[in-house]
Amino acid sequence: MKTRSHYWQLLPYIRPHWKTITQAFACTLGFTVFWPIQASLAGQIAQFIGQGNMVALAQVAGVLTLVFLVQTIVQYGQDSLMAKAALAVALDLRKQVYAHIHRLNLSYFETAQTGDLTYRLTEDIDRIGEVVNKLFHDFVPCVLQLIVVLGYMIYLNWQLTLATFLVAPLMGILIGWFGEQMLKFSRRSQNRISDLSALLTEVFSGIRLVQAFAAEEYEIERFAIEAEQNRQAKYAAEHLKAIQNPVVGFLYAISVLLLFFLGGWQISVGNLTGTEFVSYLAGAALLIDPIAHITSNYNEFKQGEASVDRIFELVAIQPTVVEKPGAIVLPPVTGKVEYCNVSFAYHKQGREETGERSRWVLKSISFLASPGEMIALVGPSGAGKTTLVNLLPRFYDPQAGQILIDGIDIQDVTLPSLRRQIGIVPQETILFSGTIAQNIAFGQANFNLQDVQAAAEIANAHQFISQFSQGYHTWVGERGINLSGGQRQRIAIARAVLLNPSILILDEATSALDSESEALVQEALERIMKERTVFIIAHRLTTVRRADRILVVEQGQITESGTHKELLQQGGRYAQFYAQQFS
């Protein structure tokens, strides 16, 4: 979704910090008011030097020193207060964008690049914070300095100031053109950096596969191509800056020469004294720095605008699974689950706005799971089994039909209250950096270690955890890479046990384990399945024989339903699957 952003979109994030910004602005005004005083004192110094009046010169020098001291103090207040406000704005923006990302649906994350999201939350928001800081602590003071000093110069000689401004429109047009070009190049550069970041995240996450396939050289070449494109995009922006600086500098030098020529003419006709001209030159000198800063800041603001675009493009993405106004909290349930004519199709990639969908994944699915019943879903890959259970915690919403828990439509309840009553043990266990206890109690800031240990004992995890020197306080590496597959899976089971859900989803929970680990995991699963409504997805039919009911899913429909024994007697698709696995 491409929208044209403006810095006005940052106002809601800036407004809460108006007191700090106002204090900084007061310091800025105090800082600015001393510039014309310095220019006037410079003229007096030149006069007293010409007269050889050392006493008067010392007095003016003392006043000028005091002016410098006070100006330095208010400058400190300006800089420190604005840095405080800018960092607070960046923090608020970062937290709100991060919270917004968490509200997006799984369908978004299936196509989003992790590296790109990381870059937006870090570098892009940091750049926005820097722009806010520069806007108030550099750009605004420079503009005020220009206004005040120019006002003083007009007061000294308006004809000379007006003539000097003949060059100003050309400089303004040039700076504006350079700024627009800088915005274009900055967008391109930041997109390249995001691509590079996404590539690094992807490769480092799959480094084992890279090494297993001896694909290091292939990945190095991919990285080199992305890095070169990033270099070219950055160089284009820097090359533009290199052109801009001498062009603007040349125009400024011409205006200075014009100033001396016209100043000499004004003195010759008696409209200006030598002392006033020195003060005028001091004022003109005080314009050099703010003009340079404004030019530089304008370029940085255009670069920052690209970051604003990227952040608010992300904020503009709205979740499709949302709570209804007035959604109720789902009370503790018995686990009765009913699918009523449920149909579902995924959006085509990039077509969410138009509503265009791919083929139907589920077609008019209806069945009832009684409290405490174990339902097994079997069928070929791509039949819709995982999609079927993903609708239950509302990772997606069906396009037709209803899903009821204890007779309550799940679209009428709040998402947290729904999902806290559904435990999930996935095929690929995800662990986070933290201790084993924190991973078992995932999502709970305050937890009881005894409850965690009890859950681990039920999940057959307590024994191996106790063998670690730090026990439950053992640090788990990124993605739990220092644990075996069976250990990770038992931690995932303990996580589900601690949640104590009424409904449990087991998605190929033992398919990737060796025989010994599978036996331990299977034993743990049998413990936690008692008195819960359980949905099991399995390709290995040994895990579903004791299910109360087996649903055969093919091409988005339930084609067979019954117990293991009943389906074998029918001699249908389930019997074929069974024969293929155990022939």
Residue 503: φ, ψ to 5° = -125, 135
Q: Is 423 exposed, middle or buried (0-12, 13-18, 19+ CB in 10 A)?
A: buried
Partners of 377 in the β-ladder: 537, 551
pLDDT of 126 strictly over 70: yes
The model's pLDDT over 89-123, given as tens digits with 9 standing for 90+, comes to: 888 888 888 888 888 887 788 777 777 888 888 88
Q: Of 161, 141, 196, 155, which Cα lies nearest the Cα of 27? A: 141
Q: Could you give the 3-state DSSP secondary structure of residue 475?
A: strand
**CA distance linking residue 462 with residue 474, whole number of Å:** 13
The model's pLDDT over 524-570, given as tens digits with 9 standing for 90+, comes to: 777 777 788 999 887 777 778 888 899 999 988 999 999 988 988 88
**CA distance linking residue 228 with residue 234, whole number of Å:** 10
The model's pLDDT over 42-51, given as tens digits with 9 standing for 90+, comes to: 666 666 666 6
CB 445 within 8 A of CB 483: no
- How confident is the model at residue 350, as a pLDDT? 46
What is the number of other CB atoms lying within 10 angstroms of the CB of residue 19? 10
Q: Is 450 exposed, middle or buried (0-12, 13-18, 19+ CB in 10 A)?
A: exposed
The pLDDT-based confidence of 2 (bands split at 50, 70, 90) is very low
- Looking at per-residue confidence, does 227 or 38 come out higher? 227
- Looking at per-residue confidence, does 55 or 469 come out higher? 469
- Looking at per-residue confidence, does 191 or 252 come out higher? 191
What is the number of other CB atoms lying within 10 angstroms of the CB of residue 577? 17
Chain length of the chain: 583
The model's pLDDT over 52-81, given as tens digits with 9 standing for 90+, comes to: 667 776 777 777 778 778 878 888 888 888
pLDDT of 250 strictly over 60: yes
- How confident is the model at residue 411, as a pLDDT? 94
**CA distance linking residue 404 with residue 411, whole number of Å:** 9
- How confident is the model at residue 357, as a pLDDT? 52
- Looking at per-residue confidence, does 473 or 152 come out higher? 473
Partners of 561 in the β-ladder: 551
- Looking at per-residue confidence, does 199 or 18 come out higher? 18
Q: For CA atoms 124, 128, 133, 138, give the dihedral sign.
A: positive
* Token output for 427: 């095929």
CB 135 within 8 A of CB 301: yes
Q: For CA atoms 109, 115, 116, 119, give the dihedral sign.
A: positive
Residues of the chain with CATH 3.40.50.300: 335-421+501-583, 428-500
- Report the share of the chain in percent with pLDDT over 90: 12
The matching CATH number, chosen from 3.30.70.1450, 3.90.1710.10, 3.60.130.10, 3.40.50.300, for 335-421+501-583 is 3.40.50.300
Q: For the residues 483-487, what does the mean pLDDT come to?
A: 80
**CA distance linking residue 324 with residue 102, whole number of Å:** 18
- How confident is the model at residue 167, as a pLDDT? 59
The pLDDT-based confidence of 164 (bands split at 50, 70, 90) is low
The model's pLDDT over 377-390, given as tens digits with 9 standing for 90+, comes to: 998 888 888 899 99
- How confident is the model at residue 70, as a pLDDT? 81
Q: Could you give the 3-state DSSP secondary structure of residue 58?
A: helix
* Token output for 455: 């859950």
428-500 is classed in which CATH architecture?
3-Layer(aba) Sandwich (3.40)
Partners of 362 in the β-ladder: 344
Alpha carbon distance, N-terminus to C-terminus of the chain: 53
The CATH superfamily label for domain 7-316 reads ABC transporter type 1, transmembrane domain (1.20.1560.10)
Q: For CA atoms 45, 47, 49, 55, give the dihedral sign.
A: negative
Q: Is 50 exposed, middle or buried (0-12, 13-18, 19+ CB in 10 A)?
A: exposed
Q: For the residues 193-222, what does the mean pLDDT come to?
A: 71
* Token output for 137: 């602590």
**CA distance linking residue 458 with residue 525, whole number of Å:** 9
- Looking at per-residue confidence, does 36 or 444 come out higher? 444
Q: Of 239, 240, 253, which Cα lies nearest the Cα of 178? A: 240
Question: Which residues have CB under 8 Å from 94's CB, separation 6+?
Answer: 121, 125
DSSP 360-388: EEEEEEEEEE-TT-EEEEE-STTSSHHHH
CB 369 within 8 A of CB 337: yes
